[in-house]
Amino acid sequence: MGVADVLYYTIHFRELKSIIQWKTWHMPVHERDREKETVSLRICFDLLDMTSRSFSAVIQELHPELLVPIALFYLILRGLDTIEDDMTLPLEKKEPLLKEFYKITEKEGWSFNGSGPDERDRELLVQFHYVTEEYRKINPVYREIINDIAQQMGDGMAEYCKRAAEGRSGVESLKDYDMYCYYVAGLVGNGLTRLFVESKLANPALKERVQLQTSMGLFLQKTNIIRDVKEDWDDKRSFWPREIWSKYVDDFGDLFRPENREAALNCSSDMVLNSLNHADECLFYLAGLKEQSVFNFAAIPQAMAIATLALVFRNPTIYEKNIKITKGEACQIMLESTQNLQKVCEVFRKFVRQIHRKNTPKDPNFLKISVACGKVEQFIETIFPTQDPGALKTAAESGMPVAKKEDPKVIREREEAKWDTSKG
């Protein structure tokens, strides 16, 4: 911990407390047994740590039935993402790699050292033969699911790379935007759901709720796209749809000019609104996850996303640099999100209220954002009625009806009935 960190946590002691609590008191639902692993599998987990320490930690606490399949699923999709992101690869080399990647996962000894020297996850592809070695050992049913997702994702990525190479904007309309996010994230939600259900660790009805699966991925992806706007622009690319940004500026680059700050903030709030519209469906999805480690795995990223959405909302700093929630905030969110659905709903309520407080009548999206916040609060009130003054106020201001307090037993029975597979 550096001097700056010491000074920060001296002022923000509650965040330091959260870090200590997470490191001291957090007990994994399941623990990975390294002694039973092959050398190649250990290397796969090392690669997982290298590519994403935060995701790696959550994956390694999964139920043993899904631990290895989901770890390899993540590495395979990260490999695809690394190829797509590599601006040094020409289209004629990138396109066939993306389209054939699902077949590569079955090839013994395959690796790739053609990524640019500065590509962040280059080493994953260099050592990918360890991934393919372990992948061929997992349940064929899981492989079929992962291959299907990898094929669809690779085809989608190849199409958007082709558009970019031909000088066509890959993200023109909101429909384009949703489709791009579906290919790079919505499909992940679909694949994970099929793995959860196939392993019998989630309600089978989830498999039929495609819209909920998709919203889980789109909520994460859209939030990251808002947060990373400056980083992406510096890399000479953008994912914000023209249909949104053209309402505020003539050229996308104008958003980064100080003289256009108010227009830029209104534009980013429009993007936040688009992402926020998926929030209630994410909570509904989480209600279908019964096994604790699977619930934690799905809930933590969603809770981080709503916190990030509150951070970027009407925050001019996103046009200057990449911003993230602090480590202390992240630990507090993880503590709260690894208990039950009610706690996760409380996290969502807290950050939705932050967005609501930052909302301003000067913003052309003011009313729509108020309604979106009220919609999330109303959904939570429907599941866990509290008659909380804050929830009542937000719902009333957005014109949403307010739920009456009910007996907790009645609420549980109603929610279980919604997931009854015999009722479609």
Q: How many whole angstroms separate alpha carbon 121 and alpha carbon 40?
A: 18
Residue 119 near residue 235 (C-beta atoms within 8 A): no
Which alpha helices (DSSP H) does 26-114 contain, by range? 39-51, 53-59, 64-85, 91-104
Residue 64 near residue 30 (C-beta atoms within 8 A): yes
Q: How many whole angstroms separate alpha carbon 206 and alpha carbon 320?
A: 40
Q: How many whole angstroms separate alpha carbon 104 and alpha carbon 195?
A: 21
Beta strands in 157-303 (DSSP E): none
Q: Which amino acid is at 64?
A: P
- Which distant-in-sequence residues (6+ apart) come within 8 Å of 366 by Cβ? 359, 360
Catalytic residue among 143, 227, 314, 353: 227
- 412 as an active site residue: the answer is no
Catalytic residue among 136, 168, 237, 257: 237
- Give the phi and the psi of residue 214 in degrees, each rounded to 5: -65, -40
**Cβ-based burial of 209 (10 A; exposed 0-12, middle 13-18, buried ≥19):** middle
Give the CB-side neighbour count of residue 8, counting CA atoms within 13 A. Answer: 11
Smallest CA-to-CA distance from 63 within 40, 38, 37, 33 is with 33
Q: How many whole angstroms separate alpha carbon 270 and alpha carbon 229?
A: 14
Q: How many whole angstroms separate alpha carbon 376 and alpha carbon 367?
A: 15
Question: What radius of gyration do the chain's Cα atoms show?
Answer: 22
- 297 as an active site residue: the answer is yes
Catalytic residue among 102, 177, 180, 384: 180
- 180 as an active site residue: the answer is yes
Catalytic residue among 182, 297, 313, 379: 297
Q: Which amino acid is at 16?
A: L
Integer CA distances (angstroms), 269 to 10, 76, 253, 351, 358, in order: 32, 34, 17, 15, 10
Give, in degrees to the nearest 5, the angle at Cα 384 between 380 and 388.
Answer: 80
The dihedral sign for the CA sequence 387, 389, 390, 392: positive
Smallest CA-to-CA distance from 281 within 347, 215, 341, 340 is with 215
The dihedral sign for the CA sequence 20, 24, 26, 32: positive
Active-site residue set: 180, 227, 237, 297
